[in-house]
Chains A and B, each alone.
Chain A
Amino acid sequence: MRLPGRGRNAGAEEVRFRFDGRDYRGRAGEPLAAALLANGVRVMGRSFKYHRPRGVMTAGSEEPNALVTVGRGADREPNVRATVQEVFEGLEAYGQNAWPSVHFDLMAVNDLFAPFLGAGFYYKTFMWPRAFWEKLYEPGIRRAAGLGVLSGEHNPDPYEKAFAFCDLLVIGAGPAGLMAALAAGRAGAEVILADEGPEPGGRLLSEDERVEGQPAQAWVAVVLAELAEMPNVRVMTRTTVTGAYDQGTYGALERVSAHMARPAPGLPRECFWRIAAKRAVLAAGALERPVAFAGNDRPGVMLASAMRSYLHRWGVAPGRSVVVFGNNDDAQRTARDLAAAGVHVAAMVDARTDAPEVAGVRMFRGAVVTGTAGGRHGLEAVTIRCEDGRVERIAVESLAVSGGWNPAVHLTCHMNGRPVWREEIAAFVPADGAVPGLAPAGACAGEFSTRGCLEAGLRAAGAALADLGMQAPAMEAPEADAARYRLRPLWAVEGRGRAWLDFQNDVTVKDVKLAAQENYASVEHMKRYTTQGMAPDQGKNSNVAALAVLAEATGRGIPETGTTTFRPPYVPVSIAAMGAGAQGKGFAPERLTTSHAASRARGAPMIEAGLWYRPSYFPQGDEDWEAACRREARMVREAVGVADVSTLGKIDVQGADAARFLDFVYTNTFSTLKPGRVRYGLMLREDGHVMDDGTTARFGETHFVMTTTTAAAGEVMAHLEWVRQGLRPDWDVRPISVTEQWAQFAVAGPRSAELLDGLIDGGLDKDAWPFMSCGKVTVQGIGGRLFRISFSGEEGYEIALPARYGAALFDELLTRAEALGGGPYGMEALNALRVEKGFITHAEIHGRTTAFDIGMARMVSAKKDCIGKAAATREGLSGEDREQLVGLRPVEEGARMTAGAHVFAEGAAHVRENSEGYVTSVAPSVALGGWLGLGFLRNGRARHGEVVVLVDHLRGRRLRATVQDPVQYDPEGVRLRG
């Protein structure tokens, strides 16, 4: 019901919106809940379990009942609180957890079964038969119980993540927060003032009171105007600080465009901020708490403070007549303000016998509301039990309830702080120093008067400024209401019928008592048994009352019972906001080689190797991958092939101790390597397992160039830095990555020298470039590096030029290769060639294999120490029980192999216990025909010639294979020495 002429937004533009398929009019910018109330809509949601009709309970982000889905189609957003969503022209919202609508919900039949659906009912009912839980019971329960659902489609809305920095973060812009921001701003500190609402002011916007002799809202406007003039102050509205983290970092969710009818293109829906603050003031205020009594969830029952918000901010009353029920002086304010606005206040029911008078309102002192009556769509009457035991029934449309206030201590608990009970306000307040650098001030610290909040904000800012070494400005808190907060604790009213504690999860007083009775007496156990405090509101409205009921049921005090753990986020944060930027191309960087465009132009599909993209194969005609792979491999074996190997890690190692250093990180010796020569090296982790392998070339006495695998390039670089800084800080060694500096190409095959002879300035003198040699060359005058190494088993070279020439060099190499009957080859052919040769990759050195396992035990030099050497000698890391590298060849010629298959002895059952190894790499073989594989087999080196069975349970394949030496082609290495 709209009260004409009332509300701060009385002049707002009128807009049209839809709720559950019906058209309404509201004031632009007001909460959806206010607009619905103005239109007389009382049922805004259905409860989680029993599908009970529910109306709006609060006016803030803690709202447990009025959850709606906003929008339709792919970008619809579920579980939006109608108290937070602002109304705009064309807004469409829908009720949730109901069919066909929240107004008339067939699933409300659940409520009839309520006697069977009490706490713990899942555990008791659906235990047997066990297998039915996952397939039958749980999906059924999930369908019937719940919240809104996602569209299931790709979310087209943009989201954003961002960082911000400040001297002082002020969380909440009520009286305490505004005062803190004003003081710190005047002192010149960099201030971020974050507030959940669309306009700062907090409770000052919701109350009829005066600050500094003027209406509180006018004072707010003056302060905001001053803050707006300060370049050092950033006011962030619609921004909820969601979490407190280490070292002054705070998470915050900003709702950027969800309130706009037509957001600018590219404007994010939400932004998730990480704010690094040197100091913070928590001015998060307090949350009013309901009282549990029978039927207290009926639409039309609302928190007393929320009613004042709807009245003063948006000119809305929840009904034509109101009863106010409370246990503290704040409830009287609601009666007073509503009466002044012309709403009929039928009664003021106060649990205290000494409650103050409200002019013109019938008083019930020492009385409680024991029940409500009405249709399913709202309140029609309340039952009052007077001090003398007399029961009175009053017909009324709405009921305001106040059980007192709970300070919003949540953020102070995010780093394991436990709140402290304060008896005189019957509430938990933050523990001192719970979050380093964060000072609670005002209502969140248990100070409930306006004047007290203003002073606390000023004090907190002063302390923060002193910490920051800044001078606090000379100023005083303005005059304001300083009345003491008085209440008589009241959690639950005895009576017949269900008294609701947790509206969001349908938990009643009886459920909590049942938990205690069944010995779920710890508050954490009670939470899990009843589900109290779970779901979007995380028990903001119910935690303290529930544990008070539990305390009474278990005969303990409230402080001994304690609270459950408050964890971030304070309000729900969409995964889209936390993962902003990670959709599509934002998921991971793409590392592209200089030959990328040319490879794509030749139709090469790309395969990801870490972040790199490498060509799989270069199809000709209608070749599939295997045909292309075989052709390319044959080309390398018979003519010449070119492959981009720039992705391998390249590390320049310089310094007087460079050779010693390499001796220390490699298992084998590099100090004996002569300049101009290359050596293969094996590197172990400290635990004795293989880290990586690769070649290292010596370009000078104190200059080496190490290569790593593509996969381990970063790991090896980090390892070298660790060894240099941590283990050998006294040595003169200076490693640096040059991976990106050089475009490097393998030129492999019997005609590789012929190709390079025409390319390199002065030609290639093969006698001067024996196998495993290296040196500097020039190509058209450009300085480069040439290595004679081979990963294919053929005569091979790798030539490197600075990356800017990479694309041109690739073109030139291909032109020359094609003239010699060769061409480019991709990862598939590269793999096929190396499998024939038994060369390992990270498929084999996957982190659990030792030098012994891969047949390289002799590469661990006996003459020197190296990283991992001692650990590699541990029992169990070598010997017959180890799975050792072997070659595998199908018994049936041409049978296709799969990597990942497990190896079984012939005749053994194909069960896990009998697995003797596994296949790591497979490839088509052009040299030997058919397919070949590499794998690990227990005591494999002693079993060459044995026939084993390869079983791929995942793909449902099995075949027999002969165990062989891993080097299945040209074991003497005649070809690569060319």
Chain B
Amino acid sequence: MSPCAGLLPLRSGTVRLAEVDPGRITSLMPGPGQAAALDRALSETHGLGWPAPGQAILSQRGGVVWTGLDQAMLMGPAPDPALARHAALTDQSDAWAVADLSGGDGPEVLARLVPVDLRPQAFAEGATARTLLGHMTASITRTGPETLRIMVFRSMARTLVHDLHAAMDAVAARRGLDAGGPPR
């Protein structure tokens, strides 16, 4: 069962929140001095690379999203076994609830919950942040001009949807738009 099963999708105002199946999620933690080699291996095997802090390297088939010191998540494909020579690989496919918030008001919605400037001029495509979403730790990545990908721990999926729904409705109310979801 997916983490947000029965909770999503939602629409409110101009913003839509939908669960995403991210495929495989594998945490990559390069060994000492291995980042450059891992970068090459990611490039050769997946057409991706090792991201700088705060960056995600995205392609049609997936991406590598920075998530912390010496740590990133390979999203989408199963990891090529060659990567294991340069990094500790850990399957995290089931650890995250992943949802896309799309629409021009996405940054306005997240401004109710996230203390990071997520407007496109400050947070361009490929930017990623580990931050708070309400009381939860989250990973947020801009994957498109009007799409922000949000990841929180799987166990918190219901709270994620609750908090985002409230923020979406509040922004819709400010815009004088109908909230699409059921009444709170």
- Residues of A at the B interface (CB closer than 8 Å) are 158, 160-165, 190, 256, 263-268, 274, 276, 581, 585-586, 588-594, 611-612, 652, 654-656, 725, 730, 732, 734, 736, 738-742, 802-804, 807-808
Query: Are B88 and A734 closer than 8 Å at their CB atoms?
Result: yes
Question: How far in angstroms is the closest Cβ of chain A from B10?
Answer: 14
Is B59 engaged at the interface, CB distance under 8 Å to the other chain?
A: no
Among A165, A655, A725: residue with most chain B CB under 10 A: A165
Question: How far in angstroms is the closest Cβ of chain B from A196?
Answer: 19
Which residue of the partner chain, among A162, A592, A655, contacts B112 with CB atoms under 8 Å? A162
Is B29 engaged at the interface, CB distance under 8 Å to the other chain?
A: yes
Residues in A with CB closer than 8 Å to B88 are 652, 654-655, 734, 736
Query: Are A163 and B96 closer than 8 Å at their CB atoms?
Result: no
Query: Are B184 and A266 closer than 8 Å at their CB atoms?
Result: yes
Query: Are A581 and B184 closer than 8 Å at their CB atoms?
Result: no
Cα separation A337 to B158 with both chains bound (whole Å): 62
Can you name 24 A-B residue pairings with CB atoms under 8 Å? A160-B170, A162-B112, A163-B112, A163-B114, A163-B115, A163-B117, A165-B119, A266-B169, A266-B184, A267-B174, A581-B163, A586-B162, A592-B155, A592-B157, A594-B1, A652-B88, A654-B88, A734-B88, A736-B29, A736-B90, A741-B95, A803-B3, A803-B95, A807-B1
Question: How far in angstroms is the closest Cβ of chain B from A781?
Answer: 16
Which residue of the partner chain, among A264, A612, A741, contacts B94 with CB atoms under 8 Å? A741
Query: Are B135 and A738 closer than 8 Å at their CB atoms?
Result: no
Query: Are A586 and B134 closer than 8 Å at their CB atoms?
Result: yes
Which residue of the partner chain, among A161, A264, A593, contacts B155 with CB atoms under 8 Å? A593
Query: Are B163 and A586 closer than 8 Å at their CB atoms?
Result: yes
Which residue of the partner chain, among A163, A265, A593, A808, contacts B173 with CB atoms under 8 Å? A265
Cα separation A105 to B154 with both chains bound (whole Å): 60
Cα separation A652 to B1 with both chains bound (whole Å): 24
Chain B, Cβ-Cβ closest to A158: B170
Cα separation A264 to B177 with both chains bound (whole Å): 9
Is B14 engaged at the interface, CB distance under 8 Å to the other chain?
A: no
Query: Are A581 and B173 closer than 8 Å at their CB atoms?
Result: no
Query: Are A804 and B172 closer than 8 Å at their CB atoms?
Result: no
Cα separation A738 to B96 with both chains bound (whole Å): 10
Which residue of the partner chain, among A586, A589, A738, contacts B156 with CB atoms under 8 Å? A589
Encode B1-14 as 1/0 by CB contact (under 8 A) with A. 11100000000000
Question: How far in angstroms is the closest Cβ of chain B from A659?
Answer: 14
Per CB-CB distance, the 4 closest pairs between chain A and chain B, nearest first, are: A740-B95, A803-B94, A591-B155, A266-B173
Query: Are A274 and B134 closer than 8 Å at their CB atoms?
Result: no
Cα separation A295 to B85 with both chains bound (whole Å): 87
Query: Are B93 and A655 closer than 8 Å at their CB atoms?
Result: no
Residues in B with CB closer than 8 Å to A730 are 32
Residues in A with CB closer than 8 Å to B32 are 730, 732
Question: How far in angstroms is the closest Cβ of chain A from B144?
Answer: 21
Residues in B with CB closer than 8 Å to A740 are 92, 94-96, 153-155
Encode B144-169 as 1/0 by CB contact (under 8 A) with A. 00000000011111110011001001
Cα separation A861 to B117 with both chains bound (whole Å): 50
Which residue of the partner chain, among B70, B96, B119, B170, contacts A734 with CB atoms under 8 Å? B70
B90-116 at interface with A (beta carbon < 8 Å):
90-96, 111-116
Cα separation A736 to B30 with both chains bound (whole Å): 12
Chain B, Cβ-Cβ closest to A590: B159
Is B176 engaged at the interface, CB distance under 8 Å to the other chain?
A: yes
Which residue of the partner chain, among B95, B113, B117, contacts A165 with CB atoms under 8 Å? B117
Is B31 engaged at the interface, CB distance under 8 Å to the other chain?
A: yes
Residues in A with CB closer than 8 Å to B69 are 725
Question: How far in angstroms is the closest Cβ of chain A from B156?
Answer: 5
Chain A, Cβ-Cβ closest to B162: A585
Cα separation A593 to B113 with both chains bound (whole Å): 24
A-B contact number at CB 8 A: 119
Cα separation A160 to B134 with both chains bound (whole Å): 12
Query: Are B134 and A581 closer than 8 Å at their CB atoms?
Result: yes
Among B29, B92, B155, B184: residue with most chain A CB under 10 A: B155
Query: Are B115 and A589 closer than 8 Å at their CB atoms?
Result: no
Question: How far in angstroms is the closest Cβ of chain A from B131?
Answer: 11
Query: Are A161 and B122 closer than 8 Å at their CB atoms?
Result: no
Query: Are B166 and A741 closer than 8 Å at their CB atoms?
Result: no
Cα separation A588 to B132 with both chains bound (whole Å): 13
Residues in A with CB closer than 8 Å to B119 are 165
Cα separation A585 to B69 with both chains bound (whole Å): 32
Cα separation A263 to B176 with both chains bound (whole Å): 10
Give 19 A-B pairs besides A581-B112, A590-B159, A736-B27 with Cβ atoms closer than 8 angstroms: A160-B112, A163-B112, A165-B119, A264-B173, A266-B172, A267-B173, A268-B173, A581-B163, A589-B136, A590-B158, A591-B156, A594-B1, A611-B156, A655-B88, A736-B71, A738-B95, A740-B96, A741-B92, A741-B94
Cα separation A739 to B155 with both chains bound (whole Å): 10
Question: How far in angstroms is the closest Cβ of chain B from A656?
Answer: 8
Is B179 engaged at the interface, CB distance under 8 Å to the other chain?
A: yes
Question: How far in angstroms is the closest Cβ of chain B from A164?
Answer: 7
Chain A, Cβ-Cβ closest to B92: A741
Query: Are A804 and B135 closer than 8 Å at their CB atoms?
Result: no
Query: Are B159 and A585 closer than 8 Å at their CB atoms?
Result: yes
Question: How far in angstroms is the closest Cβ of chain B from A402?
Answer: 40
Query: Are A164 and B111 closer than 8 Å at their CB atoms?
Result: yes
Chain A, Cβ-Cβ closest to B176: A264
Query: Are A589 and B134 closer than 8 Å at their CB atoms?
Result: yes
B4-38 at interface with A (beta carbon < 8 Å):
27, 29, 31-32
B52-101 at interface with A (beta carbon < 8 Å):
69-71, 88, 90-96
Question: How far in angstroms is the closest Cβ of chain A from B72?
Answer: 11
Query: Are A802 and B93 closer than 8 Å at their CB atoms?
Result: yes
Question: How far in angstroms is the closest Cβ of chain B from A961?
Answer: 39
Query: Are A654 and B166 closer than 8 Å at their CB atoms?
Result: no
Residues in A with CB closer than 8 Å to B31 are 655-656, 732, 734
Question: How far in angstroms is the closest Cβ of chain B from A962?
Answer: 42
Residues in A with CB closer than 8 Å to B154 are 740, 803
Chain B, Cβ-Cβ closest to A743: B94
Cα separation A946 to B2 with both chains bound (whole Å): 56
Question: How far in angstroms is the closest Cβ of chain A from B1?
Answer: 6
Question: How far in angstroms is the closest Cβ of chain A from B160?
Answer: 8
Residues in A with CB closer than 8 Å to B111 are 162-164
Question: How far in angstroms is the closest Cβ of chain B from A841?
Answer: 20
Cα separation A594 to B92 with both chains bound (whole Å): 16
Residues in A with CB closer than 8 Å to B117 are 163, 165, 276
Cα separation A370 to B150 with both chains bound (whole Å): 68
Residues in B with CB closer than 8 Å to A160 are 112, 170
* Also in contact, A804 and B2, with CB within 8 A (given A591-B156, A741-B91): yes
Residues in B with CB closer than 8 Å to A807 are 1
Query: Are A161 and B29 closer than 8 Å at their CB atoms?
Result: no
Cα separation A265 to B179 with both chains bound (whole Å): 9
Chain A, Cβ-Cβ closest to B108: A162
Chain A, Cβ-Cβ closest to B155: A591
Query: Are B29 and A734 closer than 8 Å at their CB atoms?
Result: yes
Cα separation A612 to B184 with both chains bound (whole Å): 24
Query: Are B92 and A738 closer than 8 Å at their CB atoms?
Result: yes
Residues in B with CB closer than 8 Å to A589 are 134-136, 156, 159
Question: How far in angstroms is the closest Cβ of chain A from B98?
Answer: 12
Query: Are B112 and A161 closer than 8 Å at their CB atoms?
Result: yes
Query: Are B94 and A804 closer than 8 Å at their CB atoms?
Result: yes
Cα separation A954 to B177 with both chains bound (whole Å): 54
Among A267, A654, A741, A804: residue with most chain B CB under 10 A: A741
Cα separation A586 to B160 with both chains bound (whole Å): 10
Chain B, Cβ-Cβ closest to A646: B155
Question: How far in angstroms is the closest Cβ of chain B from A597?
Answer: 9
Residues in B with CB closer than 8 Å to A591 are 153, 155-156
Cα separation A594 to B5 with both chains bound (whole Å): 12
Question: How far in angstroms is the closest Cβ of chain B from A194?
Answer: 15
Cα separation A256 to B170 with both chains bound (whole Å): 11
Question: How far in angstroms is the closest Cβ of chain A from B129?
Answer: 13
Cα separation A861 to B59 with both chains bound (whole Å): 51
Cα separation A697 to B3 with both chains bound (whole Å): 28
Chain B, Cβ-Cβ closest to A703: B88
Cα separation A593 to B156 with both chains bound (whole Å): 9
Cα separation A60 to B131 with both chains bound (whole Å): 39
